[in-house]
């Protein structure tokens, strides 16, 4: 079976490189993936998939039925892009201003289409049902996964949900697995610090919201350094500060945006409550006030230990033990997490790096690109894992 899958994957690589380049050149933002959705539906029909359904506004669910009844599994890819202007100088660079596949969702989508083509060719070799889920809106809360689940993609609950994510720190041809808790939860923090503006030369006549905001940012890190359990991965970062003053003008208010991430749901709830109380107390103690809004995002990704152990061993069979890596917890977040809390799931990393070719830019950067040989690895491995999961 490995030989058959690798032969099909090798023969079809050129075709799916072109698919990936089409998707990369025509990215669409979260929940606006109308052309991408149409392309996926047409392509699934083109390669002879048994059943193709649109889910919600822009999701797609394909169905491959094996030779006989059996288990059901779900393979998932996300399809949306990011609001980033590309700096690539390739023929397939984004045609859409301030929209780019800088997180590799074009690769995820292509890999699943590629895997679908392989599996459809081999469907007489297995029993059961494979659901192919092309999910919108991973990059924007509340996450497209929530909508897909509401639409019933997990009914009946599949015996396994498989997904992959490109990773520029891993060389092409290699993959990475982690059992148990893998990726962090994610919450958005919005704080407006209010004071009393005035002349920068007379701070005694003001209640300086810039100073207050700085204290909140600095002292809030105590949640990470002095309150959280050192064994629990935790990140608190502020990435946006707006104080509309000037060289000699202290503004009336300052606006902050940040993110909180961890892998413990009890600590997550406790920490956010402490953050809210701390920010309010600091502002009031310095004569000002603050309004804090917290939007709860995705939970942490949990990889079923039993399923992931099997998948890792199968990956070693398919790729060779030297090409299957153990991963640390990754503090990025993913709405694949929602599936992982409702069904046995595994989410693994696909290497796309090629330093010799200059392909090593990070995710969410304007120069992100991949070594396209990763498509052959990603699609072939996903097909191999799917067939074996159906066999049990």
User: Could you tell me which of 337, 363, 335, 366 has the C-alpha nearest to residue 350?
Assistant: 363
User: End-to-end distance of the chain based on CA atoms, in angstroms?
Assistant: 15
What does DSSP assign to residue 323? G
C-alpha to C-alpha distances, 362 to 169, 184, 235, 338, nearest whole angstrom: 8, 18, 19, 25
Q: Which residues contact 256 (CB under 8 A, 6 or more apart)?
A: 189, 190, 191, 192, 193, 213, 216, 217, 238, 240, 241, 242
Q: At what angle do helices 105-121 and 34-46 cross, to 10 degrees?
A: 20
Cα distance between residue 98 and residue 33, in whole Å:
15
Structure tokens at 241: 């500060």
With b for 16 or more beta-carbon neighbours within 10 A and e for fewer, the 274-292 pattern comes to ebbebbbebbeebebbbeb
Cα distance between residue 58 and residue 148, in whole Å:
10
What are the helix (H) ranges across 303-372? 305-319, 336-340
C-alpha to C-alpha distances, 350 to 184, 228, 305, 375, nearest whole angstrom: 18, 32, 19, 9
Structure tokens at 263: 């892998």
User: Could you tell me which of 382, 383, 373, 348 has the C-alpha nearest to residue 20?
Assistant: 373
How would you classify the pairing of strands 175-177 and 345-353? Answer: antiparallel
* Catalytic residue list contains 298: yes
Structure tokens at 274: 């402490």
Structure tokens at 30: 């979260």
Query: Following DSSP, what letter does each residue of 112-168 receive, concatenated?
Result: HHHHHHHHHHTGGG--SEEEEEEE--TTSTT-HHHHHHHTTTTSSPPSEEEEEEEEE
Catalytic residue among 43, 298, 338, 339: 298
C-alpha to C-alpha distances, 14 to 111, 121, 373, nearest whole angstrom: 13, 17, 10
Catalytic residue among 138, 147, 372, 376: 372
Active-site amino acid positions: 298, 372
């Amino acid at each position: 079976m490995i030989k058959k899958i690798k032969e099909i994957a090798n023969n079809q690589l050129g075709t799916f490189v072109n698919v990936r380049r089409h998707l990369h050149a025509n990215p669409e933002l979260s929940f606006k993936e109308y052309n991408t959705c149409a392309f996926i539906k047409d392509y699934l029909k083109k390669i002879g998939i048994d059943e193709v359904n649109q889910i919600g506004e822009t999701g797609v669910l394909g169905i491959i039925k094996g030779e006989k009844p059996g288990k059901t599994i779900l393979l998932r890819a996300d399809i949306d892009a990011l609001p980033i202007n590309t700096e690539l100088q390739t023929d397939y660079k984004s045609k859409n201003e301030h929209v780019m596949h800088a997180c590799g969702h074009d690769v995820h989508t292509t890999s699943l289409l590629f895997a679908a083509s392989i599996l459809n060719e081999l469907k007489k070799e297995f029993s059961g049902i494979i659901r192919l889920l092309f999910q919108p809106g991973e990059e924007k809360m509340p996450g497209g996964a929530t909508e897909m689940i509401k639409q019933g993609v997990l009914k009946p609950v599949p015996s396994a949900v498989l997904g992959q994510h490109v990773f520029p720190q891993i060389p092409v041809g290699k993959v990475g697995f982690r059992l148990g808790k893998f990726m962090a939860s994610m919450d958005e923090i919005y704080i407006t610090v209010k004071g009393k503006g005035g002349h920068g030369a007379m701070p005694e006549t003001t209640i300086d919201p810039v100073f207050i905001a700085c204290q909140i940012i600095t002292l809030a890190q105590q949640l990470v350094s002095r309150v959280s359990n050192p064994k629990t991965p935790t990140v608190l970062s502020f990435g946006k500060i707006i104080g509309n003053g000037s060289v000699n003008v202290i503004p009336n208010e300052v606006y902050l945006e940040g993110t909180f991430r961890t892998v413990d749901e009890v600590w997550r709830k406790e920490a956010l409550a402490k953050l809210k109380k701390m920010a309010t107390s600091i502002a009031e103690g310095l004569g000002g006030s603050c309004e804090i809004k917290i939007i709860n995002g995705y939970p942490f990704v949990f990889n079923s230990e039993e399923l992931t152990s099997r998948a890792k061993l199968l990956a070693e069979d398919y790729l060779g033990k030297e090409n299957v890596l153990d991963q640390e917890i990754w503090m990025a977040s993913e709405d694949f997490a929602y599936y992982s809390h409702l069904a046995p799931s595994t989410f693994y990393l696909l290497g796309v790096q090629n330093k010799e070719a200059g392909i090593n830019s990070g995710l969410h950067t304007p120069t992100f690109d991949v070594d396209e040989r990763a498509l052959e690895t990603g699609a072939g491995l996903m097909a191999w894992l799917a067939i074996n999961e159906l066999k049990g």
